[in-house]
Structure 1
Amino acid sequence: MSDLSRLSFNSQTAKNWPLPELIEAAARSGLGGVGLWREPVQRTGIERVAHLVRAAGLEVTSLCRGGFFTAPDAAARRDRIDDNRRAIEEAALLGAQTLVLVCGGLPPGSRDLAGARGMVADAIAELAPFAGEHGVVLAIEPMHPMYCSDRGVISSLRQARLLAERFPAGQVGVLVDAYHVWWDPELAAELALLGPRIAGFQVCDWVTPLPTGVLTGRGMVGEGAIDLRALRREVERSGYRGLTEVEIFSTRLWERSGSEVLAEACRQYLAHVV
């Protein structure tokens, strides 16, 4: 198999695979890193996962997720900021380069989109110095506009860039997820403007017709509409030198063994990304 050292495998792609087995298989396959989610890390034990990753010689390219800053009242918003502080501390302990921010949608019953975006900006402003002190970059993830109401009121690379630029680059950056940004007619220009603020690069594919469960119906790399190789080249032309992380939410993949999914992800990455 060709070089996979610039590939990272996100644990959500094989969400039922125990982390110790996933980490060992990623290292054995020659990958450069893994992306992790907080819940399985907590179930396994954060100290144990940190030890396993270091012993395997892998990078932790991302920890997911922080964010969900939008809430109907001040007490709930405070709870979420406090949880994000804990997430930053977890990322630092794991050696994660970034904490991914799924910023949150409209609070229940609200139509105040500008107000929700203001909550996101205020929360990041409070958390950014804390993240910087811990050596963790808060990676704003702009999400496809179809998620604006329930998951992410930051909907484009431009929005994410303008928000990130309010803070030092060592504190706040932007996660480029192919699934969410591939459609953007300003994609290449925005990537160039982001430059060193690109804090991570994730790939999966957009399949049509859209499945009923849009969130969990993403495609394996290479089976959909996104020109992932061209996007990877644009990201790297903008100065990104990190790993490419395969993150796929798919009920079809979750029914299969983790080792099969990892092997297919490696093949498709070599065929459609590098």
Structure 2
Amino acid sequence: MSEAAPPATVSAAPVAPASPAVAARLAAEVAGTFVLVFGVIGTALFAAGFNGGTAGLNVGFLGVALALGLSVLVSAYAFGPVSGGHFNPAVTIGLAIAGRFAWKDVAGYIVAQLVGGIVASSLLVAIAAAGPDGFLANAQKGGFASTGWGELSPGGFGLVSSLLVEIIATAILVYVILGVTSSRAADGFGPLAIGLTLTLVALVAIPISNGSFNPARSIATAIYGGPTALAQLWLSIVAPIVGAAIAGITFKPLFDKLRRAS
């Protein structure tokens, strides 16, 4: 999820490799967000509670958290070199606020992320529709792995709890992204750190809000999750953006100031 390289400029020095074309960058965001949503929501729908846990065949909350981290990890390594590997509108906005991403590219990235997420959830609906009788209806009745509070919270947590955990988790995620993609970070380990961070915060957040930290993921599931999921969708859009904005605004004054003082 590192910042995309700036376009090469003409000079007498050796010419640096050109930045990927806009179409390639947007395609990479579509593909990466598709993998993220397909991986984590597919795990939540088909594997988390498989067979009611009989014979230990379900993966539970831990499996979903790992699926989220692994989905971002593999997507960041595969598509990050092309687009910077955001795969999340909140991350794109947070990086732009921090000055790490051009505001003129924000809208295109967000549209690409929404497309990737919605295509993934739509294909999951098609898979579920061909499953056992009533599988899709039950999945949709349960909110189709949508995030929220009350009825949509696996642990029955309220609005304030879900709002806070989504804000805090997204802020942590964006702080880590800004840290591991800085010029001081070790090369090659960014995707690993980001994937593990997502796994960590998901382990905390899934019982509370069902763990999103990503408006594209939340929109992709809410459109199939019924009236309650759609009514609560605002939280899964607003909270991650607030968390990302907090990290984007405070990262430089906090950590660059600490670096200068050390």
Structure 2 length-normalised TM: 0.27
Q: Which has the higher contact order (CA 8 A, sep 6+)?
A: 2
Per residue, is there more helix in 1 or in 2? 2
Which of the pair has more CA radius of gyration?
2
Structure 1 length-normalised TM: 0.26
